[in-house]
Chain A
Amino acid sequence: MQSLSEKVRVWDLATRLYHWLQFLLVMGALLIGFFGPEWFLDAHVYAGYGVLALIVFRLVWGFAGSTYSRFSSFIFSPRDILCHVRGVLKGRPSHHLGHNPLGALMVFALIGVLLLMLGSGLVVLGGVENQGPLAGFIGFDLGVRARFVHKVFAYLLVGMIVLHVMGVVLESRLSGFSLVRSMFDGNKPRPDIVHAAGDGFEPAGNADDMAGNAHPLPDVPARTGRAILAVIVSGAVIVGAGVLGSAVPASGFIDLPSNDNYSSECAECHMLYHPSLLPRDSWLKLMANLEDHFGEDASLDDSVTQDIANYLSTYSSEAWDTEAANELRTVDPQKPYEITATPFWKRTHARIDPTIFETRPVLSKGNCAACHWDAESGRFADQKIEIAHGQK
């Protein structure tokens, strides 16, 4: 009984599970986002959906969880926060059983930044990749702007995680018990019982100290049933909206009829390039110079040439709002119809070993489909990349 009274169950099981699952998913999403290859996009996105589910739970649990999980237990006045900061600067911060004022700020800031990352991430996914629930609503330009926001918040998030860990280390040192351990077993020693003279903390109630909860707070039971109901209802609303949104066709794409001359003549020698991959002007220049077509004579009858030129210029990049169409609209003026000479192509393929382009199964830089499974659809989804995937 003695030992029990010295410990307080601060973090309930659900909060601890939430914390560690979020740790895993956020670390996974960050690592993939910063270092992963493009084709890990699905894992990154699913990690994001996982974080969304966790945050929905956490918001509910902030109102329905047990004592220290409730937001009301760690909302501090600006005065409390200032006092705590002063204490930290003096090396003698006030002691709190639950979140201390700075820790509480971090909880809200993390939830806020994660929500902004989820929102901006969905806008990138929809606008740039033409995927996900917002694909039907977001254009490429907005997607690119959201990508910038997403990146900035990613760096901010890394900085916040570092601060969070530093805070945990600091308080663990001052208090002499591990906050990390508390997040595993849920318990903290009672400061009003175990405070020995000379530890790092100001005893609760000292002059500089506005300590809110060095003494255990009155026990508030978790309302698990209501919480489950709230999570299910809000989850259903979010998933429903996602499913409805995903049913809307991606806004970057238009219907592309096939053209017999284009398919039969051009695909005899090379993969069928999607008309969205070059601007109108480039297609017309290409079709006007078939006698010297990438080092070969590819001339056609005038009527066939005209038909293909009409088709390609009608469905050229100007007609699409995909990533490829937008990015490849900027061509090299010296090589106006060489897709692999565009700044975007060069930038995105710069880190690939050049010998891969010359050897089987790729053979030439123009053989997009050797690595992009969906090249002929013009989609070029990140997930559909497999470097030299035809290789045995």
Chain B
Amino acid sequence: MIKKALVLSALLAFSAVPAQADPRQDILDQLAVEASAADANFSGFSAARGEKLFRTKFGTGKPATPSCTSCHTESPRNVGETRAGKAIDPVAVSVNPSRFTDPAKVAKWFRRNCKSVIGRECTALEKGDYITFMMTQ
């Protein structure tokens, strides 16, 4: 409990200053709150776990999309492609700084794509890890 309180207060303190200027951090903060609520041992997001999520071939979702890489390609810096042939802007934040800044869009695409790829909705931890990985890319 103490640990969780510490993490939360640290996150809140960290987010208090840049809150208005950094919508991506707001989204991450919100996910952190949800992740802590779900797991008392939550100790922050991990880019390494995010990368694993990105590359795992699940095979538990819809057959056409076993993995994030099915559409986003092996490198998040690449332009991806939908199955219908439309270009998908890169997911890597360095290439596409507007990524993960619109909460509605983030919610919509995690909901859809996690169901398509994994066959269920993603946890807050998975979403936070994924965004954290993309911020390093």
Contact = CB atoms under 8 A, between A and B. Distances in A.
B82 to A, nearest CB: 4
B115 A364 contact: no
B111 A269 contact: no
A366 interface: yes
A298 B112 contact: yes
A308 B84 CA distance: 20
Contacts of B86: 267-271
Q: Is the interface of B mostly helix, strand, loop or mixed?
A: loop
B113 interface: yes
A299 B111 CA distance: 8
Interface stretch (B7-15, B45-53, B60-68, B94-102): B60-68
Interface residues of B, number: 16
Contacts of A295: 62-65, 83, 116
Nearest to A367: B85
Contacts of B111: 297, 299
Interface string A137-162: 00000000000000000000000000
Nearest to A265: B108
Interface in A290-339: 291-292, 294-301
Contact of B115 (A269, A294, A297, A301): A297
Interface in B83-130: 83-86, 108, 111-113, 115-116
A263 to B, nearest CB: 13
Nearest to A365: B84
B63 to A, nearest CB: 7
Number of chain A interface residues as a range = 20 to 34
Contacts of A291: 115
A299 B82 CA distance: 16
A269 B108 CA distance: 13
A281 to B, nearest CB: 23
Contacts of A300: 108
A273 to B, nearest CB: 10
A229 to B, nearest CB: 58
Nearest to A271: B84
Contacts of B84: 269-271, 363-364, 366-367
Given A295-B63, A300-B108, 13 more contacts: A268-B86, A269-B84, A269-B86, A270-B82, A295-B62, A295-B64, A297-B111, A297-B112, A299-B115, A361-B85, A363-B81, A364-B83, A364-B84
Q: Report the 9 A-B pairs with minimum CB-CB distance, sorted nearest first.
A: A270-B84, A297-B115, A363-B85, A295-B64, A297-B112, A269-B82, A297-B116, A296-B116, A295-B62
Interface of A: 267-271, 291-292, 294-301, 361-364, 366-367, 370
